[in-house]
Amino acid sequence: MRCLLRDGLVDSSRTLFDYGCGRGQDLDFLGDLQIPCSGWDPVHRPDGAVTPADVVNLSYVINVIENPQERFEVLKKAWSLCLGVLVVAAQLDFAAADKEHLAFADGVLTSRNTFQKYYTQSELRSYLERTLGVEAIPAAPGVFYVFREESARQQFLANRYHRAVPIPRARQSETLFEKHQEVLQPFMAALARLGRLPGPEDFPEYAELVARLGSPKRALSIVNRVTGADAWTAIAAKRAEDLLVFLALSRFPKRPPLSALPPSTQRDAKAFFGTYQRACAEADALLFKVGDATAIDAACCRAPLGRLVDNALLLHHSALADTEPLLRIYEGCARALSGDIEDVDVIKLHRQSGKISYLGYDNFEQETNPRLRFRVKVTLPSLSVDFYDHSGLGNESFLDSKEGLYNNEVSEVS
């Protein structure tokens, strides 16, 4: 549920059905947020109506079903109820570390004599895709999204690599701008969001803007006079980079044809690169560089922010979006395997080994030398995801310094 809220996939305009809702604590929470939701559970809510919904949640259900056929049928049933996106969560194998259990069927019997099926991240993804016949997108370790419509999946992926930028402010008085502010302000918001001239589907005031000013081009000329053109040029460059990152990572497992992309993304490709083919070619060139250790090392060395150490570039998680596209794609390849990992403070981009590490610390903002709580290491050459718990006694590790992790100059450390 945290993932759904974080990624904007649930709100008051979408219905949600929780299939296997337990006692319904999540439903109570969503109800307080005015999100229309309902649920069913064979033990706690057997009388609940099983109904289709825009979003269907199947969290920590398939891992407690010991019969593989029943597990298959439950997953298929949840998918049949889904109108928009199905979210599936299950236990990963790292959660079973150091726990006593007895092998049983294709899982284990826990110390409480209950069945658990522990997955690896890649095993869970393969099971979902094999059963449903649709690509699953990792949202977090052990959590995957499966979209009903391909265009919705592509829109979600495009949004994932879309950076927030501020709207340039007017710097001088201009009569025409002041007269038409009620349409020019939303036009500027759309321009900042897109980095290009918006089309009719991109903002509601489009028709009124054209009626008043004749065309988006004329509106842009007015905006340029009061804000300056340089800021908008910089935004366009950022949006072109965001599109390259999205297109490069959309090759996993197969890049969609232009017709499968949302109309707004189709406009982006034409506006920034002339053609979809040219945009894809540039994205491919960057993607293939991810396998070139020399190129990754050079990109880390020229990064305008972060802390460069002998084997890696260390970044605060908020700084990643401000690195060049090659490094964003490098990290994006790791996220395509692991999903978004919560509570990460520092991202470690290894310069030579094809590894990306995600580090979470206790009281990172408050402590000078915070203690490492967990580490997730993604190894691209072997497509593996490893989880390490550093919270136990005798396993302590501390960050030596936070200097340079999010400032504007790379500080080099031997």
Three-class secondary structure of residue 300 per DSSP = helix
C-alpha–C-alpha distance, residues 97 and 385, integer Å: 15
Interhelix angle 121-132/68-81, nearest 10 degrees: 70
- The pLDDT of residue 114: 85
Ramachandran category for residue 388: left, alpha or beta (phi over 0 → left; psi -120 to 50 → alpha): beta
pTM for the predicted model, two decimal places: 0.80
The sheet carrying 346-350 orders its strands as 384-389, 372-379, 355-361, 346-350, 312-316, 307-308, 411-412
pLDDT at 402: 86
Nearest to 19 by CA among 47, 58, 55: 58
Predicted pLDDT at 414: 34
Q: Supply φ then ψ for residue 191, to 5 degrees.
A: -65, -40
Mean pLDDT for back-to-back runs of 10 residues, the chain (414 residues): 94 96 93 94 93 97 94 97 97 69 79 86 95 95 95 91 82 80 94 94 93 94 92 95 96 90 93 97 97 96 92 94 96 94 95 96 91 95 92 80 70 45
Q: Tens digit of pLDDT for each residue in 125-161?
A: 999 999 999 999 999 999 999 999 999 999 999 988 8
d(CA 226, CA 215): 18
pLDDT score for 31: 92
The domain 2-148 having CATH identifier 3.20.20.60: the answer here is no
How far is Cα 213 from Cα 208, in angstroms, rounded to an integer? 8
CB atoms within 10 A of CB 282: 17
HEC profile of 106-121? CEEECCCCCEECCECH
pLDDT score, position 162: 85
Strand partners, 92: 119
* Cα gap 20→10, rounded to integer Å: 18
69-104 pLDDT, tens digit per residue, is 999 999 999 999 999 999 999 999 876 655 667 778
Residue-wise pLDDT for 24-69, tens only, equals: 999 999 999 999 999 999 999 999 999 999 999 999 999 999 999 9
Is there a cis peptide before residue 141, judged by omega within 30 degrees of 0? no
Q: Which long-range contacts (CB under 8 A, 24 or more apart) does 118-123 make?
A: 118/63, 118/91, 118/92, 118/93, 119/63, 119/90, 119/91, 119/92, 119/93, 120/92, 120/93, 120/385, 121/92, 121/337, 121/338, 121/339, 121/385, 122/337, 122/383, 122/385
What are the sequence ranges of the domains in the chain?
A: 2-148, 149-289, 296-412
Our separate counts of H helices and E strands in the chain read 14, 16
Beta bridge partners of residue 59, listed in sequence order? 89
Closest listed residue to residue 314, CA positions, set 331, 338, 326, 329: 331
pLDDT, position 112:
78
Take residue 345 and report the two structure tokens written for it: 């403070």
Q: Helices 181-194 and 216-227: crossing angle, nearest 10°? A: 90
